[in-house]
A and B are shown apart, each in its own frame.
Chain A
Amino acid sequence: MSHFNAERVRADTPALTRVINGRPITYLDSGASSLPPRTVIEAMDEYYRLRHANVHRGVYQTAIEATDAYEGARAAIAQFLNAPGGSEGVVFTKNCTEAFNLLAKSWGAANLKDGDAVLLTEMEHHANIVPWFQLRETIDLDIRFIPVNDLFELDLTAIHDLLKGVKLLSLTAMSNVLGTVNPVQELATLAHAQGALVAVDAAQSVGHMPTDLVELDVDFMMFSGHKMLGPTGIGVFWARPEILATMPPFLGGGGMIADVRTDGYTPATGFTRFEAGTPMIAEAVGLHAAVRYLEGLGLDNVQTHDRALTVDAISRINHQFNGRVRIIGPTAHDNRGGVISLDVDGVHPHDIAQVLDEIGVCVRPGHHCAKPLMRRFGLAATARASFGPYSLTSDTDALLEGLQRAITFFG
Protein backbone atom coordinates (compact mmCIF):
# COMPACT_ATOMS: atom_id res chain seq x y z
CA MET A 1 0.00 0.00 0.00
CA SER A 2 1.32 3.39 -0.96
CA HIS A 3 2.66 5.74 1.67
CA PHE A 4 3.45 8.46 -0.82
CA ASN A 5 2.37 11.94 0.08
CA ALA A 6 4.20 14.87 -1.52
CA GLU A 7 3.16 17.18 1.33
CA ARG A 8 4.86 14.83 3.77
CA VAL A 9 8.01 14.68 1.61
CA ARG A 10 7.97 18.46 1.65
CA ALA A 11 7.73 18.51 5.44
CA ASP A 12 10.70 16.12 5.52
CA THR A 13 12.85 18.50 3.44
CA PRO A 14 14.40 21.33 5.48
CA ALA A 15 15.62 23.32 2.45
CA LEU A 16 12.01 23.92 1.45
CA THR A 17 11.48 26.11 4.51
CA ARG A 18 13.62 28.86 2.92
CA VAL A 19 12.10 32.19 2.06
CA ILE A 20 13.63 33.90 -0.99
CA ASN A 21 12.90 37.54 -1.77
CA GLY A 22 9.96 37.43 0.60
CA ARG A 23 8.40 34.35 -0.96
CA PRO A 24 8.58 30.69 0.08
CA ILE A 25 11.13 28.97 -2.12
CA THR A 26 9.78 27.26 -5.24
CA TYR A 27 12.45 24.71 -6.03
CA LEU A 28 12.20 23.56 -9.63
CA ASP A 29 15.80 22.51 -10.19
CA SER A 30 15.81 18.91 -8.98
CA GLY A 31 17.22 17.87 -12.36
CA ALA A 32 20.41 19.73 -11.43
CA SER A 33 20.41 18.67 -7.79
CA SER A 34 17.67 17.39 -5.52
CA LEU A 35 16.99 18.48 -1.94
CA PRO A 36 17.84 15.89 0.71
CA PRO A 37 15.32 14.85 3.35
CA ARG A 38 16.13 15.26 7.02
CA THR A 39 16.99 11.56 7.38
CA VAL A 40 19.89 11.96 4.92
CA ILE A 41 21.27 15.01 6.70
CA GLU A 42 20.84 13.38 10.11
CA ALA A 43 22.51 10.14 9.03
CA MET A 44 25.59 12.04 7.87
CA ASP A 45 25.56 14.23 10.96
CA GLU A 46 25.29 11.22 13.26
CA TYR A 47 28.09 9.49 11.39
CA TYR A 48 30.45 12.44 11.83
CA ARG A 49 29.46 13.05 15.45
CA LEU A 50 29.70 9.48 16.72
CA ARG A 51 31.12 6.96 14.29
CA HIS A 52 33.72 8.65 12.14
CA ALA A 53 36.86 6.67 11.42
CA ASN A 54 38.64 5.54 8.30
CA VAL A 55 37.34 2.41 6.61
CA HIS A 56 38.98 -0.93 5.81
CA ARG A 57 41.89 -0.27 8.19
CA GLY A 58 41.32 -0.14 11.92
CA VAL A 59 40.44 -2.97 14.28
CA TYR A 60 38.85 -0.68 16.84
CA GLN A 61 35.12 -0.35 17.38
CA THR A 62 34.35 2.85 15.44
CA ALA A 63 36.56 1.85 12.51
CA ILE A 64 34.56 -1.35 12.23
CA GLU A 65 31.33 0.63 12.44
CA ALA A 66 32.51 3.02 9.71
CA THR A 67 33.46 0.09 7.47
CA ASP A 68 30.11 -1.57 8.11
CA ALA A 69 28.32 1.70 7.29
CA TYR A 70 30.28 2.16 4.06
CA GLU A 71 29.85 -1.42 2.90
CA GLY A 72 26.24 -1.36 4.06
CA ALA A 73 25.65 1.52 1.64
CA ARG A 74 27.13 -0.54 -1.18
CA ALA A 75 24.84 -3.44 -0.38
CA ALA A 76 21.81 -1.12 -0.21
CA ILE A 77 22.64 0.33 -3.63
CA ALA A 78 23.00 -3.16 -5.11
CA GLN A 79 19.64 -4.17 -3.74
CA PHE A 80 18.02 -0.92 -4.85
CA LEU A 81 19.17 -1.59 -8.43
CA ASN A 82 18.51 -5.36 -8.24
CA ALA A 83 22.10 -5.68 -9.43
CA PRO A 84 23.24 -9.09 -10.71
CA GLY A 85 26.11 -10.22 -8.48
CA GLY A 86 24.99 -7.93 -5.63
CA SER A 87 27.54 -5.53 -4.15
CA GLU A 88 30.38 -6.92 -6.29
CA GLY A 89 29.69 -4.61 -9.22
CA VAL A 90 29.09 -1.39 -7.26
CA VAL A 91 31.96 1.13 -7.31
CA PHE A 92 31.64 4.45 -5.50
CA THR A 93 32.88 7.46 -7.47
CA LYS A 94 32.81 11.21 -6.95
CA ASN A 95 29.80 11.64 -9.24
CA CYS A 96 28.25 10.39 -12.47
CA THR A 97 30.84 12.23 -14.57
CA GLU A 98 33.70 10.44 -12.83
CA ALA A 99 31.87 7.15 -13.42
CA PHE A 100 31.85 7.84 -17.17
CA ASN A 101 35.55 8.69 -17.03
CA LEU A 102 36.15 5.39 -15.26
CA LEU A 103 34.27 3.58 -18.02
CA ALA A 104 36.13 5.31 -20.85
CA LYS A 105 39.58 5.38 -19.30
CA SER A 106 39.57 1.90 -17.82
CA TRP A 107 37.23 -0.35 -19.84
CA GLY A 108 37.45 1.79 -22.98
CA ALA A 109 41.22 2.13 -23.11
CA ALA A 110 41.66 -1.61 -22.48
CA ASN A 111 39.00 -2.91 -24.85
CA LEU A 112 38.64 -0.47 -27.73
CA LYS A 113 40.97 -0.60 -30.73
CA ASP A 114 41.58 1.65 -33.72
CA GLY A 115 38.49 1.64 -35.93
CA ASP A 116 36.09 0.45 -33.20
CA ALA A 117 32.79 2.29 -32.92
CA VAL A 118 31.11 3.73 -29.84
CA LEU A 119 27.46 4.67 -30.26
CA LEU A 120 26.04 7.57 -28.24
CA THR A 121 22.90 9.64 -28.75
CA GLU A 122 22.44 13.28 -29.68
CA MET A 123 20.74 13.90 -26.32
CA GLU A 124 23.70 12.90 -24.14
CA HIS A 125 25.10 15.01 -21.33
CA HIS A 126 28.70 16.16 -21.92
CA ALA A 127 29.72 13.56 -19.29
CA ASN A 128 28.89 10.83 -21.82
CA ILE A 129 30.51 12.64 -24.76
CA VAL A 130 33.75 14.32 -23.70
CA PRO A 131 35.45 11.20 -22.18
CA TRP A 132 34.95 9.42 -25.54
CA PHE A 133 36.46 12.34 -27.45
CA GLN A 134 39.36 12.28 -24.98
CA LEU A 135 39.83 8.56 -25.60
CA ARG A 136 39.79 9.26 -29.36
CA GLU A 137 43.00 11.25 -28.86
CA THR A 138 44.83 7.93 -28.32
CA ILE A 139 42.57 5.38 -30.07
CA ASP A 140 41.14 6.04 -33.53
CA LEU A 141 37.51 5.63 -32.42
CA ASP A 142 34.47 5.98 -34.64
CA ILE A 143 32.11 7.94 -32.36
CA ARG A 144 28.53 7.87 -33.65
CA PHE A 145 25.35 9.50 -32.46
CA ILE A 146 21.78 8.22 -32.69
CA PRO A 147 19.90 11.29 -33.96
CA VAL A 148 16.97 12.90 -32.16
CA ASN A 149 13.80 13.46 -34.20
CA ASP A 150 11.48 16.47 -34.21
CA LEU A 151 9.32 14.79 -31.55
CA PHE A 152 12.36 14.92 -29.23
CA GLU A 153 12.78 11.14 -29.26
CA LEU A 154 15.60 8.95 -30.55
CA ASP A 155 15.29 8.39 -34.28
CA LEU A 156 15.78 4.64 -34.53
CA THR A 157 15.06 4.24 -38.26
CA ALA A 158 18.75 3.57 -39.04
CA ILE A 159 19.60 1.83 -35.77
CA HIS A 160 20.73 -1.42 -37.43
CA ASP A 161 23.27 0.42 -39.60
CA LEU A 162 24.37 2.59 -36.68
CA LEU A 163 25.03 -0.50 -34.55
CA LYS A 164 27.31 -2.17 -37.11
CA GLY A 165 30.81 -2.59 -35.67
CA VAL A 166 29.77 -0.97 -32.39
CA LYS A 167 31.58 -2.20 -29.27
CA LEU A 168 29.66 -0.05 -26.83
CA LEU A 169 26.27 1.66 -26.83
CA SER A 170 26.27 4.34 -24.15
CA LEU A 171 23.05 6.27 -23.66
CA THR A 172 20.97 8.17 -21.18
CA ALA A 173 17.89 6.57 -19.66
CA MET A 174 16.30 10.01 -19.47
CA SER A 175 17.39 13.28 -21.08
CA ASN A 176 18.28 16.02 -18.61
CA VAL A 177 17.06 18.62 -21.13
CA LEU A 178 14.08 17.07 -22.89
CA GLY A 179 12.75 14.78 -20.20
CA THR A 180 12.58 12.04 -22.86
CA VAL A 181 12.73 8.52 -21.43
CA ASN A 182 14.60 6.24 -23.83
CA PRO A 183 13.74 2.59 -24.64
CA VAL A 184 16.88 1.30 -22.91
CA GLN A 185 15.82 -2.33 -22.66
CA GLU A 186 14.85 -2.55 -26.34
CA LEU A 187 18.10 -0.90 -27.44
CA ALA A 188 20.15 -3.13 -25.12
CA THR A 189 18.66 -6.19 -26.79
CA LEU A 190 19.57 -4.85 -30.26
CA ALA A 191 23.08 -3.85 -29.15
CA HIS A 192 23.77 -7.19 -27.49
CA ALA A 193 22.66 -8.98 -30.65
CA GLN A 194 25.43 -7.07 -32.45
CA GLY A 195 27.96 -8.07 -29.79
CA ALA A 196 28.12 -4.61 -28.19
CA LEU A 197 28.03 -3.84 -24.48
CA VAL A 198 25.57 -1.27 -23.11
CA ALA A 199 26.15 1.57 -20.63
CA VAL A 200 23.32 3.62 -19.17
CA ASP A 201 23.42 7.13 -17.74
CA ALA A 202 20.78 6.86 -15.02
CA ALA A 203 21.49 10.26 -13.42
CA GLN A 204 18.02 11.60 -14.19
CA SER A 205 16.07 8.37 -13.92
CA VAL A 206 17.36 6.51 -10.87
CA GLY A 207 15.66 8.76 -8.30
CA HIS A 208 12.47 9.14 -10.31
CA MET A 209 11.43 5.68 -11.54
CA PRO A 210 12.08 2.04 -10.68
CA THR A 211 15.42 0.65 -11.94
CA ASP A 212 15.97 -3.09 -12.26
CA LEU A 213 19.31 -4.12 -13.68
CA VAL A 214 18.23 -7.71 -14.23
CA GLU A 215 15.25 -6.58 -16.28
CA LEU A 216 17.17 -3.87 -18.19
CA ASP A 217 19.94 -6.36 -18.97
CA VAL A 218 22.63 -3.71 -19.43
CA ASP A 219 26.34 -3.98 -18.64
CA PHE A 220 27.19 -0.66 -17.01
CA MET A 221 25.19 1.99 -15.18
CA MET A 222 26.20 5.28 -13.65
CA PHE A 223 24.52 8.00 -11.60
CA SER A 224 25.07 10.67 -8.95
CA GLY A 225 23.89 10.63 -5.34
CA HIS A 226 22.75 14.24 -5.20
CA LYS A 227 20.14 13.84 -7.92
CA MET A 228 18.39 11.10 -5.90
CA LEU A 229 17.96 13.00 -2.61
CA GLY A 230 21.45 12.08 -1.45
CA PRO A 231 24.53 14.21 -0.83
CA THR A 232 26.96 15.66 -3.38
CA GLY A 233 30.42 14.12 -3.70
CA ILE A 234 29.27 10.56 -4.33
CA GLY A 235 28.24 8.71 -7.45
CA VAL A 236 27.94 5.12 -8.54
CA PHE A 237 29.59 3.16 -11.31
CA TRP A 238 28.05 -0.24 -11.71
CA ALA A 239 29.48 -2.92 -13.98
CA ARG A 240 28.64 -6.59 -14.31
CA PRO A 241 31.08 -8.18 -11.83
CA GLU A 242 32.58 -10.44 -14.52
CA ILE A 243 33.36 -7.36 -16.67
CA LEU A 244 34.62 -5.34 -13.70
CA ALA A 245 37.06 -8.17 -12.95
CA THR A 246 38.73 -7.66 -16.34
CA MET A 247 39.06 -3.88 -16.10
CA PRO A 248 42.43 -2.26 -15.35
CA PRO A 249 42.67 0.19 -12.41
CA PHE A 250 41.62 3.80 -12.94
CA LEU A 251 43.11 5.96 -10.15
CA GLY A 252 46.11 4.62 -8.28
CA GLY A 253 47.05 4.89 -4.62
CA GLY A 254 46.20 3.43 -1.26
CA GLY A 255 43.27 1.09 -0.85
CA MET A 256 43.21 -0.16 -4.45
CA ILE A 257 46.25 -2.44 -4.16
CA ALA A 258 46.93 -6.04 -3.18
CA ASP A 259 50.67 -5.40 -2.88
CA VAL A 260 53.21 -2.64 -3.51
CA ARG A 261 56.93 -3.31 -3.83
CA THR A 262 59.88 -1.22 -4.98
CA ASP A 263 59.62 -2.83 -8.41
CA GLY A 264 55.90 -2.43 -8.96
CA TYR A 265 52.43 -3.12 -7.58
CA THR A 266 49.58 -5.60 -7.81
CA PRO A 267 46.07 -4.13 -7.90
CA ALA A 268 43.31 -5.39 -5.65
CA THR A 269 40.42 -7.32 -7.17
CA GLY A 270 36.74 -6.40 -7.48
CA PHE A 271 35.36 -2.97 -6.69
CA THR A 272 38.28 -2.28 -4.33
CA ARG A 273 40.57 -1.91 -7.36
CA PHE A 274 38.64 1.21 -8.37
CA GLU A 275 38.43 2.98 -5.04
CA ALA A 276 41.82 4.58 -4.47
CA GLY A 277 42.35 6.60 -1.31
CA THR A 278 39.98 7.23 1.56
CA PRO A 279 36.50 7.07 0.05
CA MET A 280 33.48 9.32 0.66
CA ILE A 281 32.29 7.56 3.80
CA ALA A 282 29.85 10.12 5.13
CA GLU A 283 28.42 10.57 1.65
CA ALA A 284 27.91 6.80 1.33
CA VAL A 285 26.04 6.89 4.63
CA GLY A 286 23.91 9.76 3.29
CA LEU A 287 23.27 7.95 0.03
CA HIS A 288 22.20 4.86 1.94
CA ALA A 289 19.66 6.97 3.85
CA ALA A 290 18.45 8.46 0.54
CA VAL A 291 17.94 4.99 -0.93
CA ARG A 292 15.97 3.95 2.17
CA TYR A 293 13.88 7.11 1.90
CA LEU A 294 13.14 6.57 -1.81
CA GLU A 295 12.25 2.93 -1.15
CA GLY A 296 9.87 4.13 1.55
CA LEU A 297 8.19 6.45 -0.96
CA GLY A 298 8.13 3.77 -3.64
CA LEU A 299 9.71 4.62 -6.99
CA ASP A 300 6.45 3.72 -8.76
CA ASN A 301 4.74 6.37 -6.69
CA VAL A 302 7.46 8.94 -7.37
CA GLN A 303 7.10 8.26 -11.10
CA THR A 304 3.31 8.60 -10.95
CA HIS A 305 3.69 11.85 -9.02
CA ASP A 306 6.22 13.25 -11.54
CA ARG A 307 3.86 12.35 -14.37
CA ALA A 308 0.84 14.02 -12.82
CA LEU A 309 2.82 17.23 -12.22
CA THR A 310 4.30 17.14 -15.72
CA VAL A 311 0.99 16.57 -17.50
CA ASP A 312 -0.59 19.40 -15.51
CA ALA A 313 2.33 21.80 -16.11
CA ILE A 314 2.56 21.13 -19.85
CA SER A 315 -1.15 21.56 -20.34
CA ARG A 316 -1.26 24.82 -18.35
CA ILE A 317 1.85 26.26 -20.08
CA ASN A 318 0.38 25.51 -23.50
CA HIS A 319 -3.01 26.90 -22.52
CA GLN A 320 -1.85 30.08 -20.75
CA PHE A 321 0.88 31.20 -23.13
CA ASN A 322 -0.67 30.16 -26.40
CA GLY A 323 2.53 29.34 -28.29
CA ARG A 324 4.69 32.10 -26.82
CA VAL A 325 6.32 29.52 -24.55
CA ARG A 326 7.52 26.45 -26.41
CA ILE A 327 8.21 23.18 -24.60
CA ILE A 328 11.47 21.64 -25.81
CA GLY A 329 10.60 18.02 -25.18
CA PRO A 330 7.88 15.44 -25.74
CA THR A 331 4.37 16.46 -24.75
CA ALA A 332 3.01 12.93 -24.44
CA HIS A 333 3.35 11.91 -20.81
CA ASP A 334 4.08 8.22 -21.14
CA ASN A 335 7.64 8.55 -22.48
CA ARG A 336 8.92 11.43 -20.40
CA GLY A 337 9.88 12.41 -16.90
CA GLY A 338 9.46 15.59 -14.88
CA VAL A 339 12.01 17.78 -16.66
CA ILE A 340 10.47 20.61 -18.70
CA SER A 341 12.69 22.81 -20.88
CA LEU A 342 11.15 26.08 -21.99
CA ASP A 343 11.94 28.42 -24.85
CA VAL A 344 10.16 31.75 -24.44
CA ASP A 345 9.93 33.67 -27.70
CA GLY A 346 11.85 36.95 -27.34
CA VAL A 347 13.07 36.44 -23.78
CA HIS A 348 16.44 34.86 -23.07
CA PRO A 349 16.46 31.99 -20.51
CA HIS A 350 18.85 33.94 -18.26
CA ASP A 351 16.41 36.81 -18.10
CA ILE A 352 13.54 34.39 -17.42
CA ALA A 353 15.50 32.84 -14.56
CA GLN A 354 16.35 36.29 -13.17
CA VAL A 355 12.69 37.36 -13.10
CA LEU A 356 11.68 34.01 -11.57
CA ASP A 357 14.28 34.47 -8.83
CA GLU A 358 12.49 37.69 -7.85
CA ILE A 359 9.58 35.56 -6.65
CA GLY A 360 11.72 32.76 -5.23
CA VAL A 361 11.38 30.35 -8.18
CA CYS A 362 14.53 28.32 -8.89
CA VAL A 363 14.94 27.12 -12.49
CA ARG A 364 18.05 26.42 -14.49
CA PRO A 365 18.93 28.55 -17.53
CA GLY A 366 21.61 27.40 -19.95
CA HIS A 367 22.65 24.57 -22.23
CA HIS A 368 22.47 21.98 -19.43
CA CYS A 369 25.78 20.43 -20.50
CA ALA A 370 24.14 19.11 -23.66
CA LYS A 371 25.43 21.43 -26.38
CA PRO A 372 25.11 18.95 -29.28
CA LEU A 373 21.41 18.62 -28.43
CA MET A 374 20.94 22.39 -28.17
CA ARG A 375 22.62 22.81 -31.58
CA ARG A 376 20.33 20.14 -33.03
CA PHE A 377 17.35 22.35 -32.14
CA GLY A 378 19.04 25.65 -32.99
CA LEU A 379 18.97 26.82 -29.37
CA ALA A 380 21.71 28.40 -27.27
CA ALA A 381 19.89 27.78 -24.02
CA THR A 382 16.58 26.90 -22.41
CA ALA A 383 15.03 27.64 -19.03
CA ARG A 384 14.48 24.27 -17.39
CA ALA A 385 12.03 23.45 -14.62
CA SER A 386 12.33 20.01 -13.03
CA PHE A 387 10.30 18.29 -10.33
CA GLY A 388 11.17 16.26 -7.27
CA PRO A 389 9.02 14.08 -5.01
CA TYR A 390 8.38 17.19 -2.85
CA SER A 391 7.03 19.24 -5.77
CA LEU A 392 3.39 20.33 -5.81
CA THR A 393 1.09 21.94 -8.37
CA SER A 394 1.54 25.14 -6.34
CA ASP A 395 5.16 25.13 -7.59
CA THR A 396 3.78 25.18 -11.11
CA ASP A 397 1.50 28.08 -10.11
CA ALA A 398 4.58 30.10 -9.10
CA LEU A 399 6.39 29.12 -12.30
CA LEU A 400 3.48 30.34 -14.43
CA GLU A 401 3.24 33.56 -12.45
CA GLY A 402 6.96 34.19 -13.03
CA LEU A 403 6.78 33.37 -16.73
CA GLN A 404 3.88 35.82 -17.10
CA ARG A 405 5.91 38.48 -15.27
CA ALA A 406 8.93 37.95 -17.51
CA ILE A 407 6.82 38.16 -20.66
CA THR A 408 5.11 41.33 -19.42
CA PHE A 409 8.44 42.87 -18.37
CA PHE A 410 10.32 42.19 -21.59
CA GLY A 411 7.27 42.68 -23.81
Chain B
Amino acid sequence: MSNLEELYKEIILDHYRTPRNRGELAPPASKTEGFNPLCGDELTVYLEVTDGKIVDIKITGHGCSISQASSSLMSVAVKGKTLEEVREVLSKFKNMMTLEGDVVDLNDPANREVLRSLGELAALQGVSKFPVRIKCATLAWNTLSQGLEEN
Protein backbone atom coordinates (compact mmCIF):
# COMPACT_ATOMS: atom_id res chain seq x y z
CA MET B 1 0.00 0.00 0.00
CA SER B 2 1.43 3.42 -0.91
CA ASN B 3 1.71 6.14 1.71
CA LEU B 4 -1.21 7.97 0.16
CA GLU B 5 -3.46 4.93 0.13
CA GLU B 6 -2.59 4.29 3.75
CA LEU B 7 -3.62 7.81 4.67
CA TYR B 8 -6.62 8.08 2.41
CA LYS B 9 -8.30 4.72 2.97
CA GLU B 10 -11.44 4.01 0.97
CA ILE B 11 -13.67 4.50 4.05
CA ILE B 12 -12.14 7.95 4.57
CA LEU B 13 -12.69 8.97 0.96
CA ASP B 14 -16.27 7.66 1.16
CA HIS B 15 -17.05 9.69 4.28
CA TYR B 16 -15.36 12.74 2.74
CA ARG B 17 -17.41 12.52 -0.44
CA THR B 18 -20.64 11.55 1.32
CA PRO B 19 -20.49 12.95 4.84
CA ARG B 20 -23.05 11.50 7.27
CA ASN B 21 -25.09 13.58 9.73
CA ARG B 22 -24.40 16.86 7.90
CA GLY B 23 -26.50 19.82 8.96
CA GLU B 24 -27.72 21.76 11.97
CA LEU B 25 -29.96 21.07 14.97
CA ALA B 26 -32.25 23.71 16.41
CA PRO B 27 -32.05 24.66 20.11
CA PRO B 28 -32.25 23.26 22.72
CA ALA B 29 -29.57 21.18 20.98
CA SER B 30 -26.14 22.46 21.98
CA LYS B 31 -23.83 24.08 19.45
CA THR B 32 -20.03 23.97 19.76
CA GLU B 33 -17.55 25.52 17.34
CA GLY B 34 -14.07 24.21 16.71
CA PHE B 35 -11.26 25.92 14.81
CA ASN B 36 -7.92 24.89 13.54
CA PRO B 37 -6.26 28.31 13.44
CA LEU B 38 -3.25 27.09 11.49
CA CYS B 39 -5.12 25.77 8.46
CA GLY B 40 -8.44 27.57 8.72
CA ASP B 41 -10.60 24.48 9.19
CA GLU B 42 -13.88 25.24 10.96
CA LEU B 43 -16.43 22.85 12.39
CA THR B 44 -19.68 23.16 14.32
CA VAL B 45 -21.02 20.19 16.28
CA TYR B 46 -24.70 20.19 17.27
CA LEU B 47 -25.63 17.76 20.04
CA GLU B 48 -28.96 16.65 21.36
CA VAL B 49 -28.44 14.84 24.66
CA THR B 50 -31.44 13.25 26.40
CA ASP B 51 -31.35 10.96 29.42
CA GLY B 52 -27.59 10.62 29.26
CA LYS B 53 -27.60 9.65 25.59
CA ILE B 54 -26.60 11.42 22.36
CA VAL B 55 -29.93 11.06 20.58
CA ASP B 56 -28.85 13.22 17.65
CA ILE B 57 -25.71 14.83 16.29
CA LYS B 58 -25.22 17.08 13.25
CA ILE B 59 -22.07 18.69 11.94
CA THR B 60 -21.38 21.62 9.61
CA GLY B 61 -18.14 23.22 8.53
CA HIS B 62 -15.35 22.94 6.04
CA GLY B 63 -11.92 21.43 6.00
CA CYS B 64 -9.69 18.86 4.36
CA SER B 65 -10.70 15.29 3.58
CA ILE B 66 -9.24 14.02 6.85
CA SER B 67 -11.08 16.51 9.06
CA GLN B 68 -14.35 16.05 7.17
CA ALA B 69 -14.16 12.25 7.11
CA SER B 70 -13.17 12.12 10.76
CA SER B 71 -16.17 14.25 11.76
CA SER B 72 -18.52 12.10 9.69
CA LEU B 73 -17.11 8.84 11.10
CA MET B 74 -17.34 10.31 14.59
CA SER B 75 -20.99 11.26 14.16
CA VAL B 76 -21.86 7.69 13.17
CA ALA B 77 -19.81 6.25 16.04
CA VAL B 78 -21.41 8.33 18.79
CA LYS B 79 -25.01 8.70 17.66
CA GLY B 80 -27.38 6.77 19.94
CA LYS B 81 -24.60 6.02 22.44
CA THR B 82 -24.69 6.79 26.15
CA LEU B 83 -22.36 9.52 27.35
CA GLU B 84 -20.29 6.89 29.12
CA GLU B 85 -19.87 4.94 25.88
CA VAL B 86 -19.04 8.14 23.99
CA ARG B 87 -16.35 9.06 26.50
CA GLU B 88 -14.84 5.63 26.09
CA VAL B 89 -14.72 5.92 22.28
CA LEU B 90 -13.29 9.41 22.62
CA SER B 91 -10.50 8.24 24.84
CA LYS B 92 -9.72 5.21 22.65
CA PHE B 93 -9.69 7.38 19.53
CA LYS B 94 -7.41 9.98 21.07
CA ASN B 95 -5.05 7.27 22.24
CA MET B 96 -4.94 5.85 18.74
CA MET B 97 -4.08 9.28 17.31
CA THR B 98 -1.46 10.33 19.84
CA LEU B 99 1.09 7.60 19.42
CA GLU B 100 3.56 10.32 18.46
CA GLY B 101 3.63 9.34 14.85
CA ASP B 102 4.57 5.73 15.56
CA VAL B 103 2.78 3.03 13.69
CA VAL B 104 0.53 0.97 15.92
CA ASP B 105 2.10 -2.42 16.47
CA LEU B 106 -0.57 -4.65 15.02
CA ASN B 107 1.13 -7.76 16.40
CA ASP B 108 0.20 -6.61 19.87
CA PRO B 109 -3.13 -8.30 20.65
CA ALA B 110 -4.16 -5.40 22.88
CA ASN B 111 -3.75 -2.95 19.97
CA ARG B 112 -5.63 -5.28 17.64
CA GLU B 113 -8.48 -5.42 20.12
CA VAL B 114 -8.62 -1.63 20.46
CA LEU B 115 -8.67 -1.16 16.69
CA ARG B 116 -11.35 -3.84 16.29
CA SER B 117 -13.50 -2.17 18.92
CA LEU B 118 -13.19 1.15 17.07
CA GLY B 119 -14.72 -0.37 13.93
CA GLU B 120 -14.64 2.00 10.94
CA LEU B 121 -12.83 4.60 13.03
CA ALA B 122 -9.74 2.42 12.84
CA ALA B 123 -9.39 3.61 9.24
CA LEU B 124 -8.09 6.89 10.65
CA GLN B 125 -5.19 5.15 12.34
CA GLY B 126 -3.07 5.70 9.20
CA VAL B 127 -3.20 9.45 9.93
CA SER B 128 -1.00 9.02 13.00
CA LYS B 129 1.89 8.36 10.60
CA PHE B 130 1.47 11.91 9.27
CA PRO B 131 2.05 14.09 12.35
CA VAL B 132 0.93 17.35 10.73
CA ARG B 133 -2.43 15.80 9.80
CA ILE B 134 -3.29 14.50 13.30
CA LYS B 135 -4.83 17.85 14.19
CA CYS B 136 -7.09 17.51 11.15
CA ALA B 137 -8.37 14.15 12.43
CA THR B 138 -8.82 15.28 16.02
CA LEU B 139 -10.61 18.62 15.38
CA ALA B 140 -14.11 17.07 15.44
CA TRP B 141 -13.31 14.99 18.50
CA ASN B 142 -11.94 17.93 20.46
CA THR B 143 -15.03 19.90 19.52
CA LEU B 144 -17.25 17.02 20.67
CA SER B 145 -15.35 16.83 23.99
CA GLN B 146 -15.90 20.53 24.50
CA GLY B 147 -19.60 20.15 23.63
CA LEU B 148 -20.02 17.34 26.15
CA GLU B 149 -18.39 19.43 28.86
CA GLU B 150 -20.77 22.27 28.13
CA ASN B 151 -23.80 19.97 28.12
Contact = CB atoms under 8 A, between A and B. Distances in A.
A binds B: yes
Interface of A: 21, 348-351, 354-355, 358, 365-367, 371, 374, 380-381, 409-411
Interface of B: 2-4, 7-8, 13, 17, 38-42, 62-66, 68, 130, 133, 136
Nearest to A411: B17
Question: Considering the complex of A and B, which 5 residue pairs feature the smallest CB-CB distances, nearest first?
Answer: A350-B64, A348-B64, A380-B40, A367-B40, A381-B40
B42 A409 contact: no
A380 B62 CA distance: 8
Nearest to A406: B4
Given A348-B64, A348-B65, A371 B40 contact: yes
A380 B42 contact: yes
A348 to B, nearest CB: 4
B136 A350 contact: yes
Contact of B63 (A21, A367, A374, A380): A380
Given A358-B4, A410-B13, A351 B39 contact: no
20 contacts: A349-B64, A350-B63, A350-B64, A350-B65, A350-B66, A350-B133, A351-B66, A354-B7, A354-B130, A354-B133, A355-B4, A358-B3, A358-B4, A365-B39, A366-B40, A380-B40, A380-B41, A380-B63, A381-B40, A410-B13
Contacts of A365: 39
A377 B108 CA distance: 49
Nearest to A371: B40
Contacts of B4: 354-355, 358, 409
Contacts of A358: 2-4
Residue from B3, B62, B64 with most neighbouring chain A CB atoms (10 Å) = B64
Given A358-B3, A380-B40, A380-B62, 5 more contacts: A351-B65, A351-B66, A358-B2, A358-B4, A410-B65
A367 B64 contact: no
A365 B133 CA distance: 12
Contacts of B17: 411
A367 B38 CA distance: 8
A367 B13 contact: no
Contacts of A349: 64
Nearest to A382: B40
Residue from A348, A355, A409, A411 with most neighbouring chain B CB atoms (10 Å) = A348
Contacts of A381: 39-40
A131 B42 CA distance: 24
Given A380-B62, A380-B63, A350 B39 contact: yes
A409 B66 CA distance: 14
A350 B8 CA distance: 12
A56 to B, nearest CB: 38
Contacts of B40: 366-367, 371, 374, 380-381
A375 to B, nearest CB: 10
Residue from B7, B40, B65, B136 with most neighbouring chain A CB atoms (10 Å) = B40
Nearest to B39: A366
Contacts of A371: 40
A411 B17 CA distance: 10
A351 B3 CA distance: 13
A288 to B, nearest CB: 33
B41 A409 contact: no
A371 B8 CA distance: 28
A177 to B, nearest CB: 12
Contacts of B63: 348, 350, 380
A194 B136 CA distance: 48
Contacts of A380: 40-42, 62-63
Nearest to B3: A358
A21 B130 CA distance: 14
A255 to B, nearest CB: 34
Contacts of A355: 4
A199 B3 CA distance: 46
A220 B21 CA distance: 52
Contacts of B7: 354
Nearest to B5: A409
Contacts of A350: 39, 63-66, 133, 136
A130 to B, nearest CB: 13
A355 B38 CA distance: 19
A355 B65 CA distance: 12
Nearest to A381: B40
Contacts of A367: 39-40
Contacts of B65: 348, 350-351, 410
Contacts of A409: 4, 8
A366 B64 contact: no
Contacts of B13: 410
Contacts of B136: 350
A285 to B, nearest CB: 32
Contacts of B38: 366
Contacts of B3: 21, 358
Contacts of A366: 38-40
A371 B35 CA distance: 13
B91 to A, nearest CB: 26
Contacts of B41: 380
